[in-house]
Chain A
Amino acid sequence: MANDHLMELNGVTKSFTLPTGTRLDILRGIDLAIDAGEVTAIVGRSGSGKSTLLNVLGMLDTPSSGRYLCDGADVARMRDSRRSRFRGEFLGFIFQQFHLLDRRTALENVAEPLLFASRRDLAGRFDRAEALLGKVGLADRAQSMPHLLSGGEQQRVAIARALVRNPRVVLADEPTGSLDEATGERVLDLLFEMVRAEGAALILVTHDAAVAKRADRILTLSDGMLHPELAEMAS
């Protein structure tokens, strides 16, 4: 039953038409189901369409065909305002480049998603942001600007921001891609710990097999298709 899954993709395709008129099929019939609390790693070579899939899952991009149900709701039928509200409430994003707002403090960055939330959340946004910064070990850096934070600290701020609205699913695109190995390891530990503590599902896009190994399940994206059976190869 579709409603049993947090997210469900059925036969989702995504293609682009190049200026030369050539059609480029990035995703070719993706079937995927994500359940609560599950950690899923999506691996694949560079250019395999991992980020495109993540954008579709994050409702930042629309599939060319197929059906995408999110918490039982058909995303294609949602208007932009509802889809945005849904995205804000249901999903949290973590990017490889952190994407912190450069003129905002760490605290303001974490509180930023709550500006688009309900009035109650808006009013208590700094309390919630402070609490999360405490959880990621950056309570003392709350007033620091992003450029004064290390890469690992910035990603921790991004993790706190992704979780500030209690999302059901966290989408992480190469979360350790800009960090050195040791820092990446620590950030990943924190991410897994936080996601599990918040009871959210995590979809991790990575090309790093070591990172993927920590997931409950590994899916490989190849030729625009997801291959669970190739998980062993990825590891």
Chain B
Amino acid sequence: MIGTFIAAWLDVRTKPFRTFAAIAGMVAAVVAVVLVDAAGVLSHKANDTYLARQYGMPITVDIQSASGTPSRNQVDQLEAALETNGITAYSLDINFPVTVVSGQNVVWNGIRWLDPEFDQVRIVDMVAGTWPDMTADADIYHVVVNEGWAMQMLGLSDQDIVGKTLGYAITQDVGWDGKSTPQIPMVVDGVVATNTIAFAGGQAPIAIVSSRPPLDVPFFDLNPWWNARVNPGDFGYIQQLVNSIVNEQGQPVFTVRRSDSGDKLAPVLAQQDVTANAVTIVAFVIGGLGIFGVGLAGVRERAQDFGLRRALGASKLRIFTGVIVQTLIEVLLAAAIAIPLAALLLEIYARDLVLETLPLPPSTALPLSSALQGLAGALIVGLAAGLIPAINAARASVVQALRG
């Protein structure tokens, strides 16, 4: 077997042009496959990054009333069920007022929840601090301010303003005063990069304020929902748990769904996966055809060599194995060229490959899984493409071959 491997390697080494012709298509195929797969992986990672930034991981689910307002008893049942099953990381979310201010002016005011569906806010990059957590039950307002604003107004750096209490805010007429005693504290949770924040109309506000709901309204009259963080694998279990709470008619009182943008992006990412699979198939077919064509021609061209080897003691199996090994060596060479090339291209073009609405993940290094997929795919395709040439080589008549 070692001898067969050496002979195959010598064939590859001593026929550089033939080898190049055989692997050129496969190099392109592996680059395409690895890049497309990596783009998919990075998009998923970008989505995870986005979700983590917005909600923290694991996934976030929303539990809502299926119809009408749930009774206090039903709410207690739900919360007890969640807690009994170890789901303590949940928060009660209610539509609450949000005010977007620019300078002293209110530019938008309404009942919204600061979530990805907030149509005037798109994904932002944080310069310092974090995006406000969901703190509807807190007695403070949480704000983010623009990059550089703190220096301009208060002489503080972006890092130093995080955690500072700015002043007070009221729902309809928000003011700020860094020196006054706050009536309702307005705390800076983070600083957003002005170059990445995008608001409708192009006007970046000074602050986005999230406030709590009016305290005098019973929370379960506000059509509440629960925002729970669960392991993605537990989602089915959560569904069963929530659906087990039923009304007198036996109908589930609550519904549950994933509330992170995984739902929204899932079809896009799925489409990207489908495209990636299509590209993978087409690329490997083209690469495989290259290997197959050159392999077939090579076997015909080297019929005499195979005949000679048979005369020198090589069995049909050794000839067959030799051609297969040679094909696999060529494929490995192709992968050795293609994978670093793909890694380089990914570093350069990561921004173009990942969905533009998503932030780039912290690392755009080539995912190992993509490299392995490219390698494994190439080996499988190479094996398949080398099969017929190998069979031809093994079945060739020694006498005819030596007669030339």
Contact surface of A with B, Cβ cutoff 8 Å: 55, 58, 60-61, 80-81, 83-85, 87-89, 93, 95, 97, 99, 101, 103-104, 108, 112-117, 119, 122, 161, 165
A101 CA / B311 CA spacing, docked (Å): 13
Given contact pairs A99-B304, A104-B10, A122-B2, A88 touches B399 in the complex (Cβ within 8 A)? no
- Which residues of the other chain, A, contact B308 by a CB distance below 8 angstroms? 99, 101
A87 CA / B309 CA spacing, docked (Å): 11
Q: Is B316 an interface residue (CB 8 A)?
A: yes
Across the interface, do A112 and B310 meet the contact criterion of CB distance under 8 Å?
no
Question: Can you give 30 contacting A-B residue pairs, CB < 8 Å?
Answer: A60-B310, A60-B311, A60-B398, A60-B399, A60-B402, A61-B398, A80-B317, A81-B316, A83-B315, A84-B310, A84-B314, A84-B318, A88-B314, A93-B311, A93-B312, A99-B304, A99-B308, A99-B402, A101-B305, A101-B308, A103-B14, A104-B10, A104-B14, A114-B3, A115-B4, A115-B7, A116-B4, A119-B2, A161-B312, A165-B313
Across the interface, do B15 and A103 meet the contact criterion of CB distance under 8 Å?
yes
Across the interface, do A97 and B10 meet the contact criterion of CB distance under 8 Å?
no
**Which positions 273-312 of chain B face chain A at CB distance < 8 Å?**
304-305, 308-312
Interface 0/1 of B389-402, CB less than 8 Å to A: 00000000011001
Closest approach, in angstroms, between the C-beta of B361 and any C-beta of chain A? 48
A221 CA / B399 CA spacing, docked (Å): 19
- Which residues of the other chain, A, contact B314 by a CB distance below 8 angstroms? 84, 88, 115-116
Q: Chain A: which residue is nearest B14 at the CB level?
A: A103
Across the interface, do A112 and B312 meet the contact criterion of CB distance under 8 Å?
yes
Given contact pairs A99-B308, A108-B10, A116 touches B318 in the complex (Cβ within 8 A)? yes
Across the interface, do A117 and B313 meet the contact criterion of CB distance under 8 Å?
yes
Given contact pairs A80-B316, A88-B312, A117 touches B14 in the complex (Cβ within 8 A)? no
Closest 10 CB pairs of A and B: A88-B313, A103-B14, A115-B3, A84-B315, A116-B313, A113-B312, A81-B315, A60-B398, A93-B311, A99-B308
Across the interface, do B399 and A113 meet the contact criterion of CB distance under 8 Å?
no
Given contact pairs A114-B3, A115-B4, A116-B3, A87 touches B317 in the complex (Cβ within 8 A)? no
Contact surface of B with A, Cβ cutoff 8 Å: 2-4, 6-7, 10, 14-15, 304-305, 308-318, 398-399, 402, 404
- Which residues of the other chain, A, contact B315 by a CB distance below 8 angstroms? 80-81, 83-85
A168 CA / B399 CA spacing, docked (Å): 22
A58 CA / B399 CA spacing, docked (Å): 10
Give the interface centre of A61, A80, A112 by most chain B CB atoms within 10 Å. A112
Given contacts A93-B312, A115-B314, 4 further A-B pairs with CB under 8 A are A58-B311, A112-B7, A115-B6, A119-B2
- Which residues of the other chain, A, contact B10 by a CB distance below 8 angstroms? 104, 108
Give the interface centre of A61, A112, A115 by most chain B CB atoms within 10 Å. A115
Closest approach, in angstroms, between the C-beta of A54 and any C-beta of chain B? 10
Across the interface, do A122 and B312 meet the contact criterion of CB distance under 8 Å?
no
Across the interface, do B317 and A117 meet the contact criterion of CB distance under 8 Å?
no
Across the interface, do A87 and B399 meet the contact criterion of CB distance under 8 Å?
no
Q: Chain B: which residue is nearest A103 at the CB level?
A: B14
Closest approach, in angstroms, between the C-beta of B198 and any C-beta of chain A? 62
A93 CA / B318 CA spacing, docked (Å): 19
- Which residues of the other chain, B, contact A58 by a CB distance below 8 angstroms? 311
Given contact pairs A103-B14, A104-B14, A114-B3, A55 touches B313 in the complex (Cβ within 8 A)? no
Closest approach, in angstroms, between the C-beta of B401 and any C-beta of chain A? 10
- Which residues of the other chain, A, contact B3 by a CB distance below 8 angstroms? 114-117, 122
Closest approach, in angstroms, between the C-beta of B168 and any C-beta of chain A? 85
- Which residues of the other chain, A, contact B318 by a CB distance below 8 angstroms? 84, 116
Q: Chain A: which residue is nearest B13 at the CB level?
A: A103
A84 CA / B3 CA spacing, docked (Å): 14
A233 CA / B299 CA spacing, docked (Å): 44
A160 CA / B402 CA spacing, docked (Å): 19
- Which residues of the other chain, A, contact B398 by a CB distance below 8 angstroms? 55, 60-61
- Which residues of the other chain, B, contact A89 by a CB distance below 8 angstroms? 313
Q: Chain A: which residue is nearest B322 at the CB level?
A: A115
A59 CA / B7 CA spacing, docked (Å): 22
Closest approach, in angstroms, between the C-beta of A159 and any C-beta of chain B? 14
Across the interface, do B404 and A81 meet the contact criterion of CB distance under 8 Å?
no
- Which residues of the other chain, B, contact A108 by a CB distance below 8 angstroms? 10
Give the interface centre of A81, A87, A114, A117 by most chain B CB atoms within 10 Å. A87
A122 CA / B10 CA spacing, docked (Å): 14
Q: Chain B: which residue is nearest A97 at the CB level?
A: B404
A80 CA / B311 CA spacing, docked (Å): 12
- Which residues of the other chain, A, contact B6 by a CB distance below 8 angstroms? 115, 122
- Which residues of the other chain, B, contact A112 by a CB distance below 8 angstroms? 7, 309, 312
